[in-house]
Chains A and B, each alone.
Chain A
Amino acid sequence: MRWTRLFAALVALLASGRSTTAQVTTGRIAGTVTDSANATAIASATITVVGTRLGGISGADGRFTIADVPAGAQRLRVTRLGFTPLDETVQVTAGQVSTIAVRLRSAATTLSQVVVVGYGSQRRSDVTGAVASVTPNVEQTPITSIEQTLQGTAPGVQVTAASSAPGGGISVRIRGASSINGNGEPLYVIDGFPIENDPTNQGNPSDAGRVNTAPTNPLASLNPSDIESIEVLKDASATSIYGARGANGVVMISTKRGLASSTKITLDAYGGSQSVAKRYDLLNATEYGQYANEWAAASNLAKPYADPTSLGGGTDWQDVIFRSAPVYNLQLGVTGGTTSRNATRYALSGGTFQQQGVVRGSDFDRLSLRGNLEQTVSRLRLSSNVLVSQISSNMVPGEGTIGSTGASAVTAALQYVPVLTPRKADGSYTFSNLDFPQEITALGVGVINIPNPLSQATEVQDKLGDTRLLANVFGEIELFTGLRFRSSLGGDYSNRTRDTYFPRTTLQGFGRNGYANRGQQQITSFLNENTLNYERQFRGMHEINAVAGYTRQTQNANRTGEINENFVSDITGYENLGAGSRVGGPGVSSSHAKWTLASYLARVNYTLLGRYLFTGTVRRDGSSRFGEDNQWGTFPSVALAWRLSEEPFMKRFSFIDQLKLRGSYGKAGNPSIQPYQSVTRLSSGQYSFGGTQVSGYYPNSIGNPKLTWESTMQKDIGLDLAVFSNRAEVTVDWYDKQTDDLLLGIDLPAEIGFTTALVNAGAIQNRGIELGLTLHVIEGNPRRGDLAWRTTLSYARNKNKVLDLGGPTRIFSSQCIAPDISANCPGTAVTVGEPIGRFYGYQTSGIFRDSAEVAEYLKTTRLASGTITPGQIRVVDVNKDGIINADDRTLLGDPNPDWTGGWQNIVSWKGFDLSSLIDGSYGSKIFNLNLYRLDGSGPGFNLNRERYRDAWRADNPDGTQPRLTSTPTSVGTDFTDRLLEDGSYLRLRTITISRTVPSRWTSGRLDNARIYVTGQNLYTWSDYSGFNPDVSSLGVGNLNRGIDIGSYPLARTVIFGVNVSY
């Protein structure tokens, strides 16, 4: 393999760099770091000699020393989280010790933070692009997955839950959806290692034959407690350094590193309880009996129940499958290091996280280990990061289906009638198709074959495993002053398994004597990066920070799957596939896909006089996934910024601390082409000669050597402002993104032998504004126990518009083959001039109060089939052709919100901290498919209580709900706007009260001890009738967003926790 040769060359290069080390005349710097406010020592401050790799870390007493500093005037940069970085000049004399006292100003202003950008880091005041920083305060707001930290805290970042199950999928959109068929998720960069989170690519291993399950979260294997900071790169200036993969934005994740000169041990532990935050309000058995009687009477049938009240409350199926469930987390960390000339720094941590789901039978366990080790040897710095984690979770199968044998436990619980009990007298489960009450089946009511909710939740074994190893090693050497060379080698290995078994006690396993399905997926990704970094100041006027590099990445994905059925017994489950005897033998499948990426990158940051900033970036990516003729793409960007506040004429506005105008323009790509899409494929075909089957191959898909990335041009204009001694900080951005060359399947002239091909056509636009506001309302010194209150608001609006579809003006999601839209196959359409993925179906207008209204309606409108009775919903003849048919389907609501936002508060007083986060979204619509069945399909199913109570009746012609005895609309089961609901919400996502334990209680043996209690999802203000308005059951793609199909309910959680450090 070529890698080895590359690496050998790099090692040689590093070694050659090292050989240039020689004795020089140097001195030593010794100093102290203190808090300017109260003169207390500051530990863990990082001190670097600017332009060198020399540096140190302050100890618990605030002291540090740096040896071997070249003689002369040296600039020291002192940084510490929570303090404004400070540059100080010190004169170093050969063979002597120069002393310095550094006083840092405590100011957690965002503008002074150091932010991680691609291939480097910058002070925020020097950043020319749109970069949002999130410092996850995991100790105070426990989360299970890193994307959750973005929710409501980073403007322009929309986070939705594909599933609220433990470890469930989360979908992130930065500045809107800019692809139709491609991946919409951002690129994640974990400690410099880019990870493409493409759910359409990763999928669940070998799902064939299994019921739908909402996508699981590929990033769930990372322990949030290990994360130091998250930066969201949004505009082209920031993202184009990731070239063909930057168009959806980039999320930079940095894990914690060793800091202190002395060993520090931290322990974080919490435990809590979760319960279902909201339920559907359904009929109990008595009400159900009344409903069945009413239904029968209206249908001229005998009443099934003489006395419905004798049925009592019956079974509350939501009670049966929901539970209150515990969650635990334990995390132990050790950090430390030496401050000697050849410093060693390390950080180790291990954690265990266990969560049961609020639906019985579901849980999520994660074990994680992390280690960072950094060693300085003269001018060579070596560093390694290793993350290991193992996830083992049990899923409740069937999110994503409504009314079939594969319905989820949740949808089944909503549909199962309350007069059925979970089990029969003999202990076996009831099944709706076999055990339905005879009183009802005698009415001739259709009963759909859906699984028993309890058996579906608890008997089905559906286990997901994910073992992940992410490791990164780099060496960095200073070739000469300001010029550093770094070479890194990283690997990401993920082994995912999904093992499912349906025993005889479940509906799916019942008929086939057990059914097992196993799938395995190994993804291995290797990355080699080589960069040259140059940092230099000239004459105090010019500052240059440049990087150039070459990188290569290879990823291999191997998948296998096996199925078998007809097992002798259920005892061995999926563990012994050989015990089954499926007709035709066990089913097996396997696949292997590989992609490679080679890239050249360069970036120059130039600052003139500390106020005029320029950034130029270019990346050239070559990807195996692109067509042969278009394998290389260049992604440039430029950005300018002007720090007005540094201009002399601004000095009189002394209340302005920082004022910066930014503007950027550039290009990034979305490479969401699956491997091999650009090449011709042969398919196998069968024929026979002499009565014997023969197999053949024929060209079945036409290659497109021109196939290439989707390309996004983005303009961004922004402003950063801090006023009144940084008491108020504002960041505003306006952006306009246009994505061209969308990947679209087009129809070809059939004469060429192929009917479709994937091409680049079409365009989509996202425009919006983002606002971030931080107010230090009361700025007391927390160390003295003063009252301090900080509040942060984030707000973002995005307008999405499809500009071009390469010919057609409207296309439909392939998940739903238009125009045959049935209720179980929701209709969304992509229409030129409209936001992506708008719902598509029949429009309705109220209920026919009486036969006169029906007659009036029928004067101008006729039905393609069927009749109308009073109490049904009026379907609008949208195209006004006098007939209600499929042509009347039209665009309905928009699943994209008008705005999203968040409001965060942190109040500190005398060792107490109160923090809260409220997030919200406004203007989106949700297609609630759960209502489809609860909308009155006859007493074969249970009913919404409101639907029953407020139904139209002859004696209640003003009922707000349609009549009970026939399909609610004349278009039958088709998709109407009745199933659309307002998805706007405001949610109290977290609220935490914590108390720092006074050191006298611990006799000073502990550095820090804190106890806290946190509530999550305590309250949601929303009109949405389902479990969770923040839902998108099919939501990993951009087409079918905002759809709720049997979604896993949201949990409300209360957690008690403790943080201790020693």
Chain B
Amino acid sequence: MRRRFGAHLARPSRRASLAFAAAALATLGACNDKEFLTEVPYDFVGPTNFYRTAGDALAALNGAYASLENSATGGSDNYYGRNLVMLVEYPAEALTTRLSATNERTLTDVYTYTPGHAYIYSVWQGAYGAINRANAVIDRVPAIDMDPTLRGRIVAEAKFLRALHYFNLVRLFGGVPIFTKETTALVDIQVERATAAAVYDLVVKDLQDAIPVLPSSKAYATSDFGRASRGAAKTLLAKAYLQRAATGVGPAADYQLALDIARGVVTDADYALVPNPGTLYDLVDGLLNERNTEVIFDIQNIRQTGAGGRLGAHFNPTNANWGVSQNASFEAEQPFYDSFSDTDKRKAVTFVLSYPHKNGSTATWTTTTTASMPYGGDTPFIKKFIDPTQVTQGQEEPNYIILRYADLLLTLAEAANEVGGPTAEAYGAINQVRTRAGIPTLTAGLSKQLFKDSLFVERRKELVTEGPNAFFDAQRHWDWAKARVAANMALGKAGSFRTSKYPKAETVITDKFKLMPIPQRAIDLNPKLTQNPQW
């Protein structure tokens, strides 16, 4: 019999051959499939190639600061770029809009907004996006091998930013879900609302952590101008204590804490009022005033895409030859304008009474001006953050002021009044602001209540469109604020002043308006969220 092909192969050799082939395949396969399949980023930055050096730590922090800027999560208008400022400022009696009754801005002005209001959800998105960025810094930077002092400062700055965002959220919505860790996976993404007290605890804790680490504003190098400082953290903490007590979330003892912290800022003497309110705001007098002694924390805007402001275009009168205008959104309500005495130096700084018209003429507001005239508004527009040399929205130069010394002084006065009535210290603080404005000092001997009323009027005049503060102030003096808005609405309904965009019947401002509704979209996406009462 003939041997079959291959039969010459001795069995061991044949088996060896097969074994060798199998072994070869197995070796090839086992040879680091995991390593072979690991995705390596080349043209973008990912967690795997970032957070390694001091430069990365600073860049991560810059990214957290940038959430105050155009790159807010979800869109450049979402947060400080527009919507937060409008949402907080319109509900008070100082401002109105020239837009139609169905415009989102008007809705907040006349209290007809609903949980579906677009700005409310966008601020929610913007603030939480900013929190995640701060969380990324707080989580990742401590592990970086770098100068420990700088590392500590970076984490403290991020904590200041996180506190600011949570403070905004708790003031807008009450208790909200708390995230203190960077989100790195799509697990446990639906979280219930924490209590307002828990949110405040986080704000206080972050600021208390930051205060001993952050340098004084004077200790920062010139190139670091604009970073969160010890004074900024203290001022924010004073405001947080005050707000917590006044909204009933914290005990009355918080007033004392607020007072102590505010006193500390005064004692530190890092800040002082500038002599002339006109030199507070960038470009109002044609000069950059951002490095003055009064500003405690402001958004650093420069004339660069991505690093410039967007609000100026909303302040711009429609017809002004000042670059882009976005509907001239900030128009004073007449009674608010009228409440400024002519000697008040703030009047000229706060209102645009005339401007260069696109047609070459000068448009001027008088008491008989209507919206159809060249000026373009029934009542004066607000001036504070206009950039007359603006070319493009998003490249505006003026810094937006979040905290400044006048606010701190008024916070001190408010806390002092709550602790022990209108003390000399309280009078002293408010009168510093009034005197600088060029108006008489506050009449001595006011009751605690009257002092408080006067103080809130002063806050509105001093701080309108800054902060933003208006709606948050109203929460601390709710019945009074409600009454003022209602009175304004009644005047508007009666046609007593021309700014009225109010509907035929004014909205009844119930206590549900003391908090913003939780955005409907947020509830849709996270059914664990509960709605605020009566919304």
Binding site for B on A (CB under 8 A): 2, 6, 9-10, 13, 16-17, 20, 22, 24-26, 52, 70-72, 94, 479-481, 483, 485, 530, 532, 548-550, 552, 590-596, 598, 600, 622-625, 631, 675-676, 678-699, 702-706, 747-755, 757, 759
Contacts and interface: CB of A to CB of B under 8 A. Distances in A.
Interface in B167-217: 176-177, 179, 182-186, 189-191
A479 B17 contact: yes
B383 to A, nearest CB: 23
Nearest to B45: A682
Given A20-B9, A682-B50, A687-B300, A755 B71 contact: no
Contacts of B32: 2
Contacts of B301: 688
B391 to A, nearest CB: 12
Contacts, number: 261
B227 A689 contact: yes
B37 A755 contact: no
Contacts of B44: 676, 681-682
A628 B6 CA distance: 46
A549 B28 CA distance: 10
Given A686-B70, A689-B300, A696 B128 contact: no
Nearest to B299: A687
A754 B302 CA distance: 27
Contact of B2 (A94, A622, A675, A704): A94
B269 interface: no
A690 B224 CA distance: 6
A2 B18 contact: no
Contacts of B526: 749, 751
B64 interface: yes
Interface string B49-79: 0100000101111111111111101100000
Nearest to A69: B5
B20 interface: yes
Interface in B1-48: 2-6, 8-9, 13-14, 17-18, 20-21, 24-25, 27-29, 31-33, 36-48
26 contacts: A9-B24, A9-B27, A24-B5, A94-B2, A485-B21, A530-B24, A532-B21, A548-B25, A592-B42, A595-B39, A676-B39, A684-B45, A684-B63, A685-B66, A685-B69, A686-B69, A689-B226, A690-B225, A696-B64, A698-B66, A705-B185, A749-B525, A750-B125, A751-B189, A751-B191, A752-B132
B409 interface: no
A24 B3 contact: yes
A593 B42 CA distance: 7
Residue from A479, A593, A682, A706 with most neighbouring chain B CB atoms (10 Å): A682
A749 B190 contact: yes
| Complex A-B, nearest 10 residue pairs according to Cβ-Cβ distance, in ascending order | A753-B132, A696-B62, A685-B66, A70-B5, A698-B63, A696-B63, A686-B306, A749-B526, A592-B42, A686-B307
Contact of B61 (A20, A591, A696, A706): A696
Contacts of A694: 58, 62
Contact of B43 (A480, A592, A706): A592
B534 interface: no
B60 to A, nearest CB: 6
A748 B186 contact: yes
Contact of A682 (B13, B46, B222, B302): B46
Give the interface residue-count category, chain B. Answer: 35 or more
Nearest to A595: B39
B37 A690 contact: no
Nearest to A478: B6
B30 to A, nearest CB: 10
Contacts of B133: 698-699, 753
A558 to B, nearest CB: 9
A699 B67 contact: no
B262 interface: no
Contacts of B20: 13, 16
Contacts of B56: 697
A17 to B, nearest CB: 7
A681 B184 CA distance: 11
A591 B50 CA distance: 18
A374 to B, nearest CB: 22
Contact of B304 (A684, A688, A750): A688
Given A679-B46, A755-B125, 7 more contacts: A16-B20, A71-B3, A598-B36, A689-B224, A689-B227, A693-B307, A754-B73
Contacts of B365: none
Contacts of A631: 37
Contact of A532 (B25, B73, B183, B226): B25
A128 to B, nearest CB: 26
B131 interface: yes
B184 A680 contact: yes
A757 B186 contact: yes
Given A13-B20, A622-B33, A688-B301, A590 B63 contact: no
B317 interface: no
B430 to A, nearest CB: 33
A532 B33 CA distance: 20
A681 B185 CA distance: 12
Contacts of B14: 480
Contact of B59 (A9, A24, A481, A695): A695
B124 interface: yes
A633 B120 CA distance: 43
B186 A759 contact: yes
A753 B131 contact: yes
Given A20-B17, A25-B3, A698-B136, A750 B226 contact: no
B341 to A, nearest CB: 36
B67 A698 contact: yes
A751 B39 contact: no
A550 B5 contact: no
